[in-house]
């Protein structure tokens, strides 16, 4: 049954923190589900889908990795993906969901503030990105239900919302035969990021594409893959304290104007960072990562102990250390996993000693794949 190409918006949108309605399979009241609109934004040229694509899978499971954005002088335009931690989405064709609509059936995970996530797809990162992907594909005849497994803590600076969005957008794309390219998937996820943290692709692009991604333009979207040499090792030491550093507050701390000498310095470090990545030169990469004179100096004082944590990381042998995203996670880089654990211990101790904060450390490799299909059940 083909639904009319119109969008249904809820008459009174729930707040970002509300859980929203249950899935139609649990509760048929569909006040908060959305009908996808085949109409595409006028300014974007998406893949033409003259015919609505068929579902290739009846269900899929996808994973999207955590990301480290900013990377010191890479503020707001550079990010990379981190393997082994991320969000997982299970998405299935659901005859109980109205065609062209999506519902969120379940959200699970260990994050203490996971109850803040809404099941209303209009107010959930995964939901928003999935809806956008469905719009782009022109899905009108199939209803989907989505289950989100949060592997990432919320508001930690590891791109949690981006990973949910990326996993969901990729899940929709996989079910319908992978017709969307990265540009379109990034756009779908940007709709979600726009709602929660601003129109920035420095988390969603690397979560989708893997590795390091530089965003050089938004209109039109221009994504530059920065290939870290395949023969080189790169480990991230991610140390997350029990502390909330809301993106909004961290953005409010930024200076509005920057002096020319600091501007030139940061630009040169951004260039050196890119060179460090492309040449696989961890010494250069780490130095540049550590060298931000603009953003980190305003944010670090808002995270208790951060300066000491950075110092501890460098003293323990890290090539560099900075704040991941808007924080509070601190990220250090090294070329050796074992050394990474030792660096992590020193950073955890510094958070405890200087910031009076409990913290946990993870040592993770660069993710070179990005959001991906984990499993799928083919349609008959």
Q: Are 192 and 165 in contact (CB under 8 A)?
A: yes
Q: Judged by CB, which is closer to its own copies: 278, or 314?
A: 278
Q: How far is the CB of 202 from its own copies (least distance, A)?
A: 10
Q: Are 300 and 276 in contact (CB under 8 A)?
A: no
Q: How far is the CB of 68 from its own copies (least distance, A)?
A: 16
Q: Judged by CB, which is closer to its own copies: 258, or 373?
A: 258
Distances (CA, A) of 355 to 109, 205, 304: 27, 32, 4
Query: Token pair for residue 235?
Result: 């480990």
SS (H, E, C) 267-294: HHHHHHHHHHHHCCCHHHHHHHHCCCCC
Q: Judged by CB, which is closer to its own copies: 121, or 210?
A: 210
Provide CB contacts within 8 A for 41, sequence distance 6+. Answer: none
Q: Judged by CB, which is closer to its own copies: 36, or 213?
A: 213
Q: Are 227 and 211 in contact (CB under 8 A)?
A: yes
Q: How far is the CB of 258 from its own copies (least distance, A)?
A: 5
Binding site for its own copies (CB under 8 A): 73-78, 214-216, 222, 224, 226, 254-260, 263-264, 266-275, 278-279, 284, 287-288, 294
Q: Judged by CB, which is closer to its own copies: 122, or 215?
A: 215
Cα 181 versus chain centre, distance: 17
Q: How far is the CB of 249 from its own copies (least distance, A)?
A: 16
Q: How far is the CB of 93 from its own copies (least distance, A)?
A: 40
Q: Are 158 and 82 in contact (CB under 8 A)?
A: yes
């Amino acid at each position: 049954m083909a639904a009319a190409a119109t969008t249904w918006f809820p008459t009174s949108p729930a707040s970002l923190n509300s859980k929203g309605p249950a899935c139609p399979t649990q509760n048929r009241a569909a006040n908060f589900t959305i009908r996808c609109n085949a109409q595409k934004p006028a300014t974007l040229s998406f893949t033409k889908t003259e015919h609505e694509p068929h579902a290739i899978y009846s269900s899929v499971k996808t994973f999207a990795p955590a990301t480290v954005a900013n990377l010191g002088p890479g503020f707001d335009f550079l990010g990379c993906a981190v393997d082994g931690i991320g969000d997982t989405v299970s998405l299935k064709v659901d005859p109980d969901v109205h065609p062209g609509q999506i519902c969120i059936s379940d959200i699970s995970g260990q994050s203490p503030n996971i109850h803040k996530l809404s099941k209303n797809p209009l107010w959930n990162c995964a939901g928003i990105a999935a809806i956008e992907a469905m719009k782009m594909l022109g899905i009108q005849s199939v209803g989907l239900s989505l289950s989100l497994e949060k592997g990432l803590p919320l508001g930690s600076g590891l791109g949690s919302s981006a990973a949910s969005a990326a996993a969901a957008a990729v899940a929709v794309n996989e079910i319908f035969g992978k017709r969307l390219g990265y540009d379109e998937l990034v756009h779908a996820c940007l709709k979600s990021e726009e709602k929660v943290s601003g129109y920035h692709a420095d988390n969603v692009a690397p979560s989708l594409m893997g590795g390091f991604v530089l965003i050089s333009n938004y209109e039109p979207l221009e994504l530059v893959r920065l290939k870290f040499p395949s023969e080189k090792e790169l480990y991230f030491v991610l140390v997350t304290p029990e502390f909330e550093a809301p993106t909004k507050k961290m953005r409010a701390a930024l200076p509005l104007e920057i002096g020319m000498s600091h501007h030139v310095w940061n630009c040169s470090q951004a260039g050196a960072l890119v060179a460090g990545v492309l040449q696989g030169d961890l010494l250069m990469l780490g130095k540049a990562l550590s060298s931000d004179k603009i953003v980190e100096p305003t944010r670090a004082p808002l995270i208790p102990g951060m300066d000491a944590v950075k110092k501890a990381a460098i003293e323990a042998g890290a090539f560099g250390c900075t704040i991941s995203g808007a924080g509070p996670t601190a990220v250090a880089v090294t070329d050796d996993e074992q050394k990474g654990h030792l660096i992590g211990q020193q950073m955890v101790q510094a958070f405890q000693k200087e910031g009076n904060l409990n913290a946990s450390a993870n040592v993770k490799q660069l993710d070179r794949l990005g959001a991906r299909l984990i499993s799928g059940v083919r349609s008959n």
